[in-house]
Each structure stands twice: as structure tokens, then as C-alpha cells.
């Protein structure tokens, strides 16, 4: 049986970037290919961070890398480290049965750097797969 929560040991830097390897596991703990995968980023109280609610991953991999960055890692608390929760919700096929549910949380800390405050000024937006988001003319869309 797999655990429902993974505590990540690496601490993210405030408004920097952070890589999380999303893995869907079967009942024996083996990494499996998900049929569907979405994720949500919150604080400990469940408040959604940076509008990252139900972010659908297209063509998810068995071990899918997710890059959080910028406003995903922005904090306003004055404590040294702040916890974030990354929830994944997935389905997969096991023993011929499609649509087996899998939910898992990843918990990690963000280091509060002295001198970083406020909202990011202008950062390139990325989709759930980490690809740049562009307008109809191919121009990058930025936050801020």
C-alpha cells in the first residue's frame, strides 16, 4: 500500500523555481502510467495559490515532472519557511479495470528570502505541462 502524503525534503526558494516529480502508484507501490492527471496548489489551510486549481496535465507520463515557479512560490507570511501542499488527482488502469482513482499530496517548504516582497512584476505564464502560454499571435502572456 502506498502512502497518501509525500514530504519533500528539498526547500523551494521564494519566487524561484521548484521541480516536483509527480508519480501515480498502484496498490503495490509501483509507478504506473496515469490515464488522467490534474493538480492543485494550496497553502496548509487549503487556500488555492496562484489560481492553480485543477490544472489538467495533457499526455501525463508515468513519472511526470512539474515545475512550480514565480507566483507559485510567492509568500506573504513573515515566518522563515512556509508550507505548500500540491494535491494530485489521477486515474489509471489496474488488472484490466480502467478509471482506478489515485489521490496524493506532496508537501514542501518555501524559504522566505529577506528583501523579496509583493507581487511579481511580469513573469512568463506556463501551462500545466510547463510550456509557455501565448496569445493568438504567438506572443508570450505574462503575469502582472
Written as tens digits, the pLDDT of the chain (144 aa) is: 556 899 999 999 999 999 999 999 998 999 999 999 999 999 999 999 999 999 999 999 999 999 999 999 998 777 778 999 999 999 999 888 889 999 999 999 999 887 665 544 445 566 655 666 667 767 666 654
| pLDDT at residue number 122 | 46
In degrees rounded to 5, what are phi and psi of residue 29? 90, 10
Rounded Cα distance between 34 and 88, Å, is: 11
Q: What is the CATH number of domain 5-118?
A: 2.60.40.1930
| pLDDT at residue number 114 | 75
| pLDDT at residue number 120 | 44
**In this structure, what C-alpha cell is assigned to residue 79?**
515566518
Going from N- to C-terminal start, the domains of the chain cover 5-118
Q: For residue 5, what are the contacts with CB-CB under 8 A and spacing of at least 6?
A: 104, 105, 106, 107
Closest CA to 126 of 11, 13, 18, 12: 18
Number of H helices, E strands in the chain: 0, 11
| pLDDT at residue number 121 | 42
| pLDDT at residue number 96 | 85
CB 56 within 8 A of CB 128: yes
| pLDDT at residue number 81 | 87
| pLDDT at residue number 68 | 97
What pTM did the predictor assign? 0.78
Amino acid at each position: 500500500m502506498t502512502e497518501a502524503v509525500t514530504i519533500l525534503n528539498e526547500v523551494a526558494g521564494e519566487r524561484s523555481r521548484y521541480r516536483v516529480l509527480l508519480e501515480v502508484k498502484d496498490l503495490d507501490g509501483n509507478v504506473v502510467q496515469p490515464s488522467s492527471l490534474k493538480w492543485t496548489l494550496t497553502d496548509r489551510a487549503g487556500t488555492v495559490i496562484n489560481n492553480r486549481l485543477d490544472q489538467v496535465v495533457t499526455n501525463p507520463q508515468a513519472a511526470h515532472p512539474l515545475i512550480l515557479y514565480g507566483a507559485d512560490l510567492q509568500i506573504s507570511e513573515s515566518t522563515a519557511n512556509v508550507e505548500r501542499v500540491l494535491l494530485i488527482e489521477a486515474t489509471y488502469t489496474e488488472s484490466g479495470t480502467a478509471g482506478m482513482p489515485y489521490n496524493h499530496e506532496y508537501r514542501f517548504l518555501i524559504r522566505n528570502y529577506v528583501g523579496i516582497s509583493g507581487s511579481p512584476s511580469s513573469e512568463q505564464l506556463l501551462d500545466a505541462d510547463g510550456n509557455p502560454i501565448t496569445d493568438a499571435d504567438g506572443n508570450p502572456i505574462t503575469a502582472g
